[in-house]
A and B are shown apart, each in its own frame.
Chain A
Amino acid sequence: MNAKTLYDKLWDAHIVRDNGDGSALIYIDRHLVHEVTSPQAFDGLRINNRKPWRIDANLAVADHNVPTTDRSQGIADPISRTQVDALDSNCAEFGITEFRMNDLRQGIVHVIGPEQGATLPGMTVVCGDSHTSTHGAFGALAFGIGTSEVEHALATQTLVLKKSKNMRITVRGNVGPGITAKDIVLAIIGEIGTAGGTGYTVEFAGEAIAALSMEGRMTVCNMAIEGGARAGIVAVDQTTIDYVQGRPFSPTGENLDKAIAWWKTLHTDAGAKFDREVVIEASGIQPQVTWGTSPEMVLPIDARVPDPSKEGDAVKRSGMEKALAYMGLTANTPIEQIKIDKVFIGSCTNSRIEDLRAAASVVKGKKRAANVTLALVVPGSGLVKRQAEAEGLDKIFLDAGFEWREPGCSMCLAMNADRLEPGERCASTSNRNFEGRQGSGGRTHLVSPAMAAAAGVAGHFVDIRSFQ
């Protein structure tokens, strides 16, 4: 038998029909649905008089548009409300399970899938959202799709896909104290670039990845797409198996035993060939801060803002100049001297319980800096929020002058009322620092939850390893 990569195994297990040209009809086990990318797909079903192929494969939740302030009276913004109402009525019409806005289980789609056990090892998981790569942390083949493919998945339970190439990124050895999954993945993107993973499914491997919790692995896979890879995956191990058991959608009894037996095979075989291998030494990874308008524009905390005049490539130099102008930064400024206006702790990258604990441990007994006008903490789901409150984390944040909000995507992409004003600078635990991402004219610096919390207290970026 040929040695296979984990991606090869997942691909092979889901082939409905091999087209013989490198593409195949691939079966989709789980389809997660949210309000922004689905209305036109449901319309397409209606126009063509089609029905969802398998209703129980779908799970829906509204997350992008929902307010993070009190929402017991519904959504004030009529345009957002229309979109959430459309999801509610589409799910009701087609019989799809949906966690509605005021359901305790509501939250960011990439938080609730794993939390509910709706994401399981070995599955194919799709969603009309690029950060679906998150679910690859479970040894699942998970990737974002556009609305036409949302309609295709609804109507046929399959997608026509071209097989990607295999890449392995090995993070060798162990990270130093204070270094988190976010720093690991930002360092990886800094290394391979935002298009480095284009055309590949990336398997994250090595001691530093194996040592991560499931929350940490989700953070890493979440940002695979920022490195260009539509899907990121991590092999199944005992950490995975321990996490998925006992959740509402997880198998039980005899099915669980059968499932575990299969899950244990979900790793790359010794001797399997990758089209590209990248090795990064964990010990060299420092706390990371992005300085520009692309996630690859990232540096260690002790660095200085780069100088475009030292860049030889003309297209890159012009990109750097545009980024610095947009970010309002001067070349050679120490990163630690960059002052911030706002803090955002949340998003599908960093809104899970472990992220909130890390941030809370930094702000405990401290106060938000005077120049920081708003520090938002937005849990990833109602269940994460409840857990955090049970641990008293909400009190720690509130005492420090941070705001404690209702779950949703919030200021990661500012589709709701949470946003940056033009020129405002934010330490954000989200995943994209694109122009206007957190609000038109807003300036985003991507960091880990601990680094965001520390910046909120200090008023500027600081090295979490020496922060007292």
Chain B
Amino acid sequence: MRAFTTVTATVAPLDRPNVDTDAIIPKQYLKSIKRTGFGQYLFDDWRYLDQGDLDIPVASRRPNPEFVLNQDAYRGAQVLVSRENFGCGSSREHAVWALEDYGFRAVIAPSYADIFFNNSFKNGFLPIILKADEVQKIFEVVAKDAASEVTVDLPAQQVKLPSGEVFNFEIDEFRKDCLVRGLDEIGLTLQNADSIRAYEAQRKASAPWLFN
């Protein structure tokens, strides 16, 4: 997994609550059996005026000029800011893959749906929880000057604004450690293989029907 330490970048604002995973990456793209290449379809229904599919080249499609990611000022943004309950809906990890493949490294919102939040950490993508008024402040900063860069400092657990203002955020220590060091969680778990086998032996004795 790609490690995450510090990112300084411009911010794309997506000013709506309940941004669901169907909106982040629509169903037709979930037919891909690869883990890469989803960035071009990120927010597909909002980003393009015509319908897309895996076999339609995006270059042939009509971008929606109204959508934030199609505006020059926000090209190159690596941080997304949005509202409550970001990533609600389906468990599709393709949503995180699409954000990450597009070039986003982090998202800032007041709250997230659990599965999306959890999936993010498996992909070197950081979902940051800030208070609603802090999120509002970032929207205002970006609205005033789209070229404003924020710094996300994971080791320090801080988001720094160009004004020098700093917002602290909380993060689970284990998750932070995995992200900062880019650790493979399966490898870590397999270090506990003996504990897993011991659990199974005890469980097989007390509830053998679970092992049919």
Residues of A within 8 A of B (CB): 16-17, 19, 21, 23, 25, 27, 29, 36-37, 39-40, 43-44, 48, 50, 53-54, 56, 64-65, 79-80, 82-83, 86, 120, 122-123, 128-130, 132, 144-149, 151-152, 155-158, 160, 162, 164, 194-195, 198-199, 225, 228, 230, 249-251, 255-256, 258-259, 262, 294, 315-316, 318-319, 322, 413-415, 432, 434-437, 440
Contact = CB atoms under 8 A, between A and B. Distances in A.
Contacts of A294: 18, 20, 88
Given A83-B33, A130-B89, A147-B93, A160 B16 contact: no
B209 A149 contact: no
B31 A228 contact: no
Given A48-B186, A53-B196, A130-B90, A434 B22 contact: yes
B100 to A, nearest CB: 12
10 contacts: A23-B172, A146-B91, A149-B118, A149-B119, A156-B196, A251-B212, A255-B208, A294-B20, A319-B16, A434-B23
A259 to B, nearest CB: 5
B122 A146 contact: yes
B34 A40 contact: yes
Contacts of A79: 31-32, 53-55
Interface of B: 15-18, 20, 22-23, 26-28, 30-35, 45, 51, 53-55, 83-85, 88-94, 96, 111-115, 118-119, 122-123, 172-174, 185-186, 189-190, 192-193, 195-196, 199-200, 203, 207-212
A40 B193 CA distance: 23
B212 A152 contact: no
Given A151-B186, A195-B84, A432 B89 contact: yes
A156 B114 contact: no
A130 to B, nearest CB: 4
A459 to B, nearest CB: 27
B200 A27 contact: yes
* Chain A CB within 10 A, most for which of B30, B91, B94, B210: B91
A128 to B, nearest CB: 6
Contacts of A414: 27
Contact of A83 (B31, B90, B96, B211): B31
* Chain B CB within 10 A, most for which of A39, A56, A148: A148
Contacts of A83: 31, 33
Given A146-B118, A148-B122, A415-B28, A436 B22 contact: yes
A156 B27 contact: no
A50 B186 contact: yes
A122 B203 CA distance: 12
A108 B148 CA distance: 48
B27 A80 contact: no
* Chain A CB within 10 A, most for which of B23, B33, B92, B174: B33
Contacts of A64: 30
Given A199-B114, A435-B23, A82 B31 contact: yes
B83 A39 contact: no
A128 B95 CA distance: 13
